[in-house]
Structure 1
Amino acid sequence: MSPGLRNQKHGRRRSARVVRAAIVLAALTTLAAPQAVAQPYPIYGAIRVEYDEAGGFAFFGNAINPESDAARGGRWQAFEKDSSIYWHPLVSGGHANQIGGAIRAKWGELGWENGALRYPTSRELPTRKPGRFGHFEGGTIHWSWATGAHNTWGAIRDKWATLSWEDGRLGFPVVDEFRAKNNGAGQHFEGGSIYWSIDTGARVVAGPIRDIWAGQNWENGRYGYPISDEYDYNAGRAQDFQGGRIEWRPR
């Protein structure tokens, strides 16, 4: 065989090997490349930013509706894994916020962004004790497995916050805020209660003193509303009420 023919054959073999290697490399590259998730509805703008920052497709799944109008010039979009994202240009510096699960359900019961809580100002976040919370323009919703989801707002929320929220001695709220005597309000927590009236402010009532007060029909009884928090007194504890003092000593 002439040297020319041998060189042509070797050249063809090398070319065939190069082509096969290129095909294998292309196949491996295709397998390794991340696959774009086809969304049935587009996600864009501030809602897209929050979608990506809060976990993307793995957390939210697909959008289940197009981006839609919300109250007072806002926007919202819902996703298949029990979450929504809400945005308003004047809330959170124009950053959108995720809300989901039991906290979203409670917010919905209260009227969504048209209710007293208005728009979310944070995404849903973990609490220091096992649970979740979300802040809103008008208050906060906390959730735990033991207590469910409950809202706090106004002076009662502010008082609870000074006591380290759910991480303090009161723990999580176990009911929503309720109306009390003379346009006051109250709320029960795992470790006690907070009662508020315009004349007395927000006061914590807990432990044996709370039990005694409850036995006298709470604020509707002869003691009325608390006018102080509990304090040390004569080797025990005491608390002042509109109708007098309740004292307690360990036996």
Structure 2
Amino acid sequence: IYWSAATGARVVGGPVRDAWLAAGGDAGDLGMPVADAASTPDGLAQYGRFAGGAVYLHAALGGHVVPGAVVEAWDAAGGIDGVLGYPTSDAVPTADGVGVVMAFQGGEVYAASGAGHALHGPV
């Protein structure tokens, strides 16, 4: 159980906790959990939502840290139930270094500091 005044008490255990801790835990970019870790409705993945992003661990697609700006665009497109589906890669810096790009089953999300984000698909 992890607690902060801003997020309250949250249960984060098992592989989600391990991935969060590997990404720096509360001192990393993800920050503190904002919801309990859970399984997706389709039962194919476990996930955790954090102040600065999310962790998704899919049985076939592996585990991926989804940065906050990417989560915003992904959620706006319907999340795992939308056109993008599950993440298939980690976020990597763009060629110009101003943002990140992350691949999903149905496309990519580009996120740049101060420039919003764009969805591109399919990959």
TM-score for the superposition, normalised by structure 1: 0.42
Matched, 1:173 2:36: no
The corresponding residue for 1:153 is 13
Structure with greater contact order relative to length (CA < 8 Å, sep ≥ 6): 2
The corresponding residue for 1:163 is 23
Residues 8-29 of structure 1 show CA distances to partners (whole Å, capped at 9, x for unaligned) of: xxxxxxxxxxxxxxxxxxxxxx
Q: CA RMSD in A?
A: 1.5
User: Structure 2 CA distance, aligned partners of 1:219 and 1:203?
Assistant: 13
Which runs of 5 or more residues in structure 2 are unaligned?
A: 116-123
Matched, 1:194 2:65: no
Matched, 1:142 2:2: yes
The corresponding residue for 1:43 is none
Larger radius of gyration: 1
Q: What's the % identity of the aligned pairs?
A: 33
Q: Which portions of structure 1, spanning 4 or more consecutive aligned residues, are displaced by more than 2 angstroms?
A: 248-251
What displacement does 1:234 show?
A: 3.0
- C-alpha change, 1:142 and 1:160, in structure 2 (3 Å) is same
Matched, 1:203 2:64: yes
Richer in strand (by share)? 2
Q: Amino acid of the residue matched to residue 238 of structure 1? A: V
Provide the aligned length of Structure 1 versus Structure 2. Answer: 111
What displacement does 1:178 show?
A: 2.2
Q: Amino acid of the residue matched to residue 108 of structure 2? A: R
Which runs of 5 or more residues in structure 1 are unaligned?
A: 1-140
The corresponding residue for 1:242 is 105
User: Structure 1 CA distance, aligned partners of 2:85 and 2:78?
Assistant: 9
Richer in helix (by share)? 1
Q: Counterparts of 1:27-66 in structure 2 under 5 Å?
A: none
Q: Amino acid of the residue matched to residue 248 of structure 1? A: A
